[in-house]
Amino acid sequence: MSRLNLDDFSDLIERPDNGVRRDAEERRERQSVPPGALGRLDELATWLSAAQGANPVRAVERPRVVLFAGDHKVAGLGVSARPAASAHTLVRSVLEGESPVAVLARRQGVPVRVVDAGLDCDPALLPEDVVRHRVRRGSGRIDIEDALTVEEAEAAVRLGVRIADEEADSGTDLVVLGDLSVGGTTPAAVLIAALCGTDASVVTGRGGAGIDDLAWMRKCAAIRDALRRARPVLGDQLELLAAVGGADLAAATGFLLQCAVRRLPVILDGVVSSACALVAQRAAFRAPDWWLAGQSSGEPGQAKALDRMALNPLLDHGVTVGEGTGALLALPLVQAAAALAAELPERADQRTDGTQESVEE
């Protein structure tokens, strides 16, 4: 098998249908509620209409939460509020319906899929359908060693591609993407700093669980050291993911790229999914046209990544828990935008063909 080249995705990804977008905008001009009165809901509806290639826009009826799970050995440096190698407890909480994303998903009737790309635990602790995808047990300590071999990085990207194909083939019409990781915000910050050309302190946040000042300084130092290892491989996205990413991040990157290939819209959650999106954008510049930023998590690295991709978050509620929670909170907005665009009537002075009736003086 020849080595995967992420740049090849650029030739496979097309932009959402601009003709349909224009038709949707014209249809919106004819509706009873004045254009602009619904704020960003108008923008969301035309984006979704173009992504679907459908006017009127179709309702989002089969959304799915997809969570890539993994542990990162850099967590052993004390850069996370959670113990190293404990991400399997987050997975278990989701599976048992006790985590924030599980509660919200149950309330909204949205199924949740968890994919173990690189958890550091005995596979017997979790169901077979979760652990059967695992690329390796935990990702390397990126400040002093590679997260993955290049072969493992390729396997993880291919895993993400396969999951995207499975979702598209099963009829999923929108994905809420999140992560279940311990230490994952550290490699995410490294990827963002490397791709944006910034220093460690600019992208170092407190993580989903929150850390104190001493842990923040340890995290900043780890990101600084990992950045030195990242810069020599910036020209190759696969080598970059191998050097300073991780199995879960590489899988999410492949997933995002293939979702764009399959014309499957995605709502991004926090800094981890945003970092993966930034790597994917580096490989295929049209890919971000298929994504929405669900929320601003307050992580400085996420803000940097979203700015680079020109994605404007839908929500800013300070949700830092991760797991796709903030992105799932944005899903009802997208569904509301689709419903309003499809169901609001046209004004009485409009014909069914969109032309105005003449009015006698």
What class, spelled out in words, does domain 63-333 have in CATH?
A: alpha beta
The question of whether 323 is a catalytic residue gets the answer: yes
pLDDT at 3: 83
The neighbour count for residue 39, using CB atoms within 10 Å, is: 9
- Given 152, 323, 357, 361, which residue is catalytic? 323
Q: Which is it for strands 266-268 and 174-182: parallel, antiparallel or unpaired? A: parallel
**What region, left, alpha or beta, does residue 78 occupy, with left being phi > 0 and alpha being psi -120 to 50 degrees?**
left
pLDDT at 209: 65
Q: Please compute Rg for the chain using Cα positions.
A: 21
Q: What is the mean pLDDT of residues 146-157?
A: 98
CA distances from 107 to 99, 102, 103, 300 (A): 12, 9, 6, 30
Q: What are phi and psi of 350, to 5 degrees?
A: -115, 135
pLDDT at 357: 44
- pLDDT at residue 213 tops 80: yes
- pLDDT at residue 350 tops 70: no
Q: Which is it for strands 63-71 and 112-118: parallel, antiparallel or unpaired? A: parallel
Alpha-carbon distance of 330 to 333, in angstroms, equals 5
pTM of the predicted structure, to 2 decimals? 0.94
Mean pLDDT of the chain: 94
pLDDT tens for residues 66-94? 999 999 999 999 999 899 999 999 999 99
pLDDT tens for residues 257-305? 999 999 999 999 999 999 999 999 999 999 999 999 999 998 999 999 9
pLDDT tens for residues 249-260? 999 999 999 999
